[in-house]
């Protein structure tokens, strides 16, 4: 099994890269999706979030008001830390369960937005970073997601810098071009991942990692 950490800043296009890797045959474990699952109504995760932040973070239907939580935590590093302390262990447990269920010869891609921030690079055989200029991120967040520029800049500032992400990368996918450009870059990365997976499977115990 080859474990691949995939990360990138908000609005970088990481989800599109994840989707294309899945299309090639990767087993994708999406940390954001799991993070939503562990705080669904009726879960211990949601109960813990409400205990920490109050009933004001609930929607009328009992679900978590993610916009409200976001407005709180992305303006306050201590509140963000409190949220992460609740959610991250739950996400980690579920990710481990999914990894254990994957085939032995799988290429498992962990889609982890905060991989750099949480110093997780060492957990993966390969780290792939989707990189995009900040101005492109802002344009995507304001035009496609309807964020205000102020909110978009706040979200970007709360994450690791581009330089910090690139420093831990084995592959950097520049997603500032066209969708065809991105396809070609993802295809090339996939070929490398396949080669690494084959080398790892063929390696004898004690051999250096590919």
The count of structural domains within the chain is 2
Is 19 in the same domain as 116? yes
For residues 80 and 73, is the Cβ–Cβ distance under 8 A? yes
- What CATH number is given to the structural domain containing 141? 3.40.50.300
Quote the tokens at residue 154: 């706040």
| SS3 category, 30 | strand
Is 51 in the same domain as 140? no
Which range has the worst mean pLDDT, 44-53, 64-73, 167-176? 64-73
Is 177 in the same domain as 116? yes
Is 79 in the same domain as 2? no
Q: Is residue 133 domain-resident?
A: yes
Is 120 in the same domain as 189? yes
Reported as a single tens digit per residue, the pLDDT across 105-159 is 999 999 988 899 989 999 999 999 999 999 999 999 999 888 999 989 988 998 9
Q: Is residue 35 domain-resident?
A: no
Burial category of 104 from C-beta neighbours within 10 Å (exposed 0-12, middle 13-18, buried 19 and up): exposed
Q: What residues contact 197, with CB distance under 8 A and at least 6 apart?
A: 1, 2, 105, 107
Neighbouring C-alpha atoms within 13 Å toward the C-beta of 189? 30
How many residues are recorded in the chain? 210
Buried b (16+ CB within 10 A) or exposed e, 173-201: bebeeeeeebeebbeebbeebeebbeebe
Is 119 in the same domain as 176? yes
User: What is the Cα–Cα distance from 134 to 137, expressed in whole angstroms?
Assistant: 5
Is 95 in the same domain as 112? no
Is 99 in the same domain as 123? no
Reported as a single tens digit per residue, the pLDDT across 152-208 is 998 899 899 999 999 999 999 999 999 999 999 999 999 999 999 999 988 866 666
User: Which residues form the domain of 47?
Assistant: 41-104
């Amino acid at each position: 099994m080859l474990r691949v950490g995939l990360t990138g800043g908000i609005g970088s296009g990481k989800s599109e890269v994840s989707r294309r890797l899945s299309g090639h045959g990767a087993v994708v474990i999406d940390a954001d999706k799991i993070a939503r699952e562990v705080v669904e109504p009726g879960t211990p995760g949601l109960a813990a979030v409400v205990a920490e932040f109050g009933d004001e973070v609930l929607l009328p239907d009992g679900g978590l008001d993610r916009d409200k939580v976001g407005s709180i935590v992305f303006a306050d590093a201590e509140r963000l830390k409190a949220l992460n302390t609740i959610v991250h262990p739950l996400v980690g447990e579920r990710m481990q369960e999914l990894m254990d269920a994957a085939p032995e010869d799988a290429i498992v891609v962990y889609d982890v937005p905060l991989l750099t921030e949480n110093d997780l690079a060492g957990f993966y055989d390969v780290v792939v970073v989707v990189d995009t200029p900040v101005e492109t991120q802002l344009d995507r967040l304001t035009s496609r997601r309807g964020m205000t520029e102020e909110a978009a800049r706040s979200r970007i500032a709360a994450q690791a810098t581009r330089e910090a992400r690139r420093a831990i990368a084995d592959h950097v996918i520049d997603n500032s071009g066209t969708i065809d450009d991105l396809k070609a870059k993802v295809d090339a990365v996939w070929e490398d991942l396949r080669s690494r997976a084959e080398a790892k499977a063929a390696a004898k115990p004690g051999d250096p990692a590919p």
